Structure 1
Amino acid sequence: MRNIWVALISFSMAGLAVPAEGKELKAGDTYMCSWGAGTAARAQELKLSGVSLYAARQKIQSYKFAKSWMRMMAMGITEQTYDSPTRMKPAAVRQSFYDDCVKYKLARK
């Protein structure tokens, strides 16, 4: 009897996991996540090299952005990066940001 319950629970858990796998990101969501991850990595690089938040903001203001939402998003990402006490390497920040962004986008679907 115990084996039957274990089998039933296993199949029900597998049945719940299948619909979650079918979700895919749109190209725009993937682009936004990768762009944001790159922005976070650059901000972390500036932070670790000793550049002040004020100077980082000035650099962002001098950049040309392809889309209107990018400037404010870059400012927000940079401020959050500077507010964080983490000393992670920029590559780790990029990967962490990208993974969390993808999880968030998939959860919204």
Structure 2
Amino acid sequence: MRNVLIMPISLVLASIAVCVQAKELMPNDRFMCSWGAGTAARAQELKLSGVSLYAARQKIQAYKFSKGWMRMMALGITEQTYDSQSRFKPEAVRQSFYEECVRYTLARK
């Protein structure tokens, strides 16, 4: 009798554990990671082309953003990109930023 009860209980617990681990990224989170990755790639492009941090900040300030949080986040991403010593190509920066953002967002949930 114990074996009969233990089997369904263990299956239920295993399925709950799988559901908890199979977290998905919400569309808003995916958009934010994608947008941030594009911003990081553009900042790396500017950095590699010799544009100063001051000029990059001025470009960001002049740009019209669709959401209120975007301007400050773009400034932060640009500053971090300029502070970094990396000389990676912008596409590699985009991919790395996106992967790390997704990993961070999923870990946060």
SS in 2 for 1:88: coil
Give RMSD over aligned pairs: 1.7
- Normalised by the size of structure 2, how large is the TM-score? 0.82
The corresponding residue for 2:41 is 41
Shift in Å at residue 22 of structure 1?
1.1
Larger radius of gyration: 2
Residue 81 (structure 2) pairs with residue 99 (structure 1) = no
CA distance in 2 between counterparts of 1:108 and 1:55 reads 34
Letter in 2 for 1:100: E
Partner of 2:63: 63
Give the equivalent residue in structure 2 for 1:6: none
Q: Deviations 1:51-74 (Å, cap 9, x if unpaired)? A: 000000000011000000000000
Cα offset, 1:38, TM superposition: 0.1
1:29 match: 29
The reply to whether residue 74 of structure 1 matches residue 74 of structure 2 is yes
CA distance in 2 between counterparts of 1:76 and 1:40 reads 10
Stretches of structure 1 lacking an aligned partner (at least 5 in a row)? 1-14
Q: Could you state the TM-score of these two structures normalised by the residue count of structure 1?
A: 0.82
Matched residue, 1:5 = none
Classify 1:24/1:78 alpha carbon distance in 2 versus 1 (closer, same or farther; 3 Å): same
Matches within 5 A, 1:6-25: 18-19=18-19, 21-25=21-25
Change (3 A) 1:27 1:88: same
User: Is the alpha carbon distance of 1:20 and 1:93 closer, same or farther for their aligned partners in structure 2, counting shifts above 3 Å?
Assistant: farther
Aligned residues: 95
Amino-acid identity (%)? 77
Q: Which moves more between the two structures, 17-26 or 82-91?
A: 17-26
